[in-house]
Amino acid sequence: MAEVRIEHVFKRFGAVTAVDDFNLVVKDGEFVSILGPSGCGKTTTLRMIAGFERATEGTISIGEHVVSSSETGTFVPPEDRDIGMVFQSYAVWPHMTVAENVGYPLKIKKVPKEERERRVQAMLDLVHLGEYGKRYPNQLSGGQQQRVSLARALVAEPGLLLLDEPLSNLDAKLRESMRFEILEIQKKTGITVVYVTHDQSEAMAMSDRVVVMSMGVVQQIGAPHEIYTSPANKMVADFIGLINFLDGEVKGDRIFLVGNDSHSWANKNGLEGEVTVAVRPESITMSADGGEFCGVVTHRFYLGDSVDFRVDVNGHIVRVIKKGSDIEAFPDGSTVYLDFDQVMFFKRN
């Protein structure tokens, strides 16, 4: 198995800096996601780890080996990097059977036929396709085809598995069950995984750590709960989960909502002037009898297990999600009181 070390890696395409000073150590056996909006540099980063793209600057090591270094000019081609890779498009070969697809990497390595067949069958069993070896890809569903590419990526027992949005082409239900399958495979094999996705719930649910990227720049690296509860900046707070951004201001050593004096917070980080007060809709307690802020319910959306409210507090429209399904407890136009738990403050821009 393998540790991955990425040090001061840059990738420039002409004037575009797709990846800007990327630093990360993925520990042996760790599952790390690279998460961010489309175009932020996730695929480029993964392709540099794989060796399909050459870093403009910096060093990449897999296990004991430096596979890419702008300083020494070292560049190990993908086939010699001991990696398996799965793409968004399943990329299985239509003219080969499932077993031939999965066995191909072993054929290239000249593994004898008998051993090859044994290992292919073991891999197909692992991805729950034990009975499908003789079929052709067009006789399989999308989810099954993606499991074929997963088996093919794993059959040569690489130290590192790279996945680029492997579930994006699957429907929502299948996507969720495939999350568990991938995690189960990772547990069984102990393989190190770097997983690229733009889906924050996927990254949160699957990863030991998440790397949040925006415009080529790493914004934060942390465990899912750290990223959620202590986002490093406004971008991360906005990208992970739901959040209210409310205009606030510093007065003296306290922070207030603009136009509201009913409650204030200590200005612990020494912010100045205009600030953003951030609070997640599920971190707000709403009641009918007293609290930090007084407001009026303007809209309600019934979500089954919860109700999604909009509350006007002195012109600030605050989103509040209340667990439970009693939509009549706080009708439109009713006066309510809000308590904010876990408030975050950012410089306003």
Task: For residue 85, give the nearest of 183, 141, 174, 165 by alpha carbon.
Answer: 165
Q: Is residue 197 a contact point for Mg ion (CB under 5 A)?
A: no
Task: Find the shortest distance in angstroms from Cβ 142 to ligand ADP.
Answer: 21
Binding part of the chain for ligand ADP, among 31-39, 61-69, 74-82, 242-250 by CB under 6 A, reads: 31-39
Cα 75 from chain centroid (whole Å):
28
Please, which of residues 44-73 interact with ligand ADP by CB under 6 A?
44
Binding part of the chain for ligand ADP, among 36-44, 122-130, 140-148, 301-309 by CB under 6 A, reads: 36-44
Considering only residues 4, 6, 9, 18, which one is a binding residue for ligand ADP as defined by CB under 6 A? 18
Residue 40 touches which member of Mg ion, ligand ADP, none, C-beta under 5-8 Å by kind: ligand ADP
Q: Is residue 317 a contact point for ligand ADP (CB under 6 A)?
A: no
Binding part of the chain for ligand ADP, among 38-46, 130-138, 139-147, 152-160 by CB under 6 A, reads: 38-46
Residue closer to ligand ADP, measured from CB, 17 or 74: 17
Q: Is residue 93 a contact point for ligand ADP (CB under 6 A)?
A: no
Task: Find the shortest distance in angstroms from Cβ 164 to ligand ADP.
Answer: 7
Task: Find the shortest distance in angstroms from Cβ 32 to Mg ion.
Answer: 16
Reduce the secondary structure of the chain to three states and give it as a string. CCCEEEEEEEEEECCEEEEEEEEEEECCCCEEEEECCCCCCHHHHHHHHHCCCCCCEEEEEECCEEEEECCCCCECCHHHCCEEEECCCCCCCCCCCHHHHHHHHHHHCCCCHHHHHHHHHHHHHHCCCCCCCCCCHHHCCHHHHHHHHHHHHHCCCCCEEEEECCCCCCCHHHHHHHHHHHHHHHHHHCCEEEEEECCHHHHHHHCCEEEEEECCEEEEEECHHHHHHCCCCHHHHHHCCCCEEEEEEEECCEEEECCCCCCEEECCCCCCCEEEEEECHHHEEEECCCCCEEEEEEEEEECCCEEEEEEEECCEEEEEEEECCCCCCCCCCCEEEEEECCCEEEECC
Q: Is residue 243 a contact point for ligand ADP (CB under 6 A)?
A: no
Residue closer to Mg ion, measured from CB, 43 or 244: 43
Q: Is residue 9 a contact point for ligand ADP (CB under 6 A)?
A: no
Q: Is residue 43 a contact point for ligand ADP (CB under 6 A)?
A: yes
Q: Is residue 43 a contact point for Mg ion (CB under 5 A)?
A: yes
Q: Is residue 39 a contact point for ligand ADP (CB under 6 A)?
A: yes
Residue closer to Mg ion, measured from CB, 19 or 129: 19
Task: For residue 317, give the nearest of 228, 247, 262 by alpha carbon.
Answer: 247
Q: Is residue 234 a contact point for ligand ADP (CB under 6 A)?
A: no
Total number of residues shown for the chain: 349
Task: Find the shortest distance in angstroms from Cβ 165 to ligand ADP.
Answer: 8
Please, which of residues 258-287 interact with ligand ADP by CB under 6 A?
none
Task: Find the shortest distance in angstroms from Cβ 90 to Mg ion.
Answer: 16
Read off the tokens for 11: 């990738």
Residues that bind ligand ADP (CB under 6 A): 13, 16, 18, 36, 38-44
Residues that bind Mg ion (CB under 5 A): 43
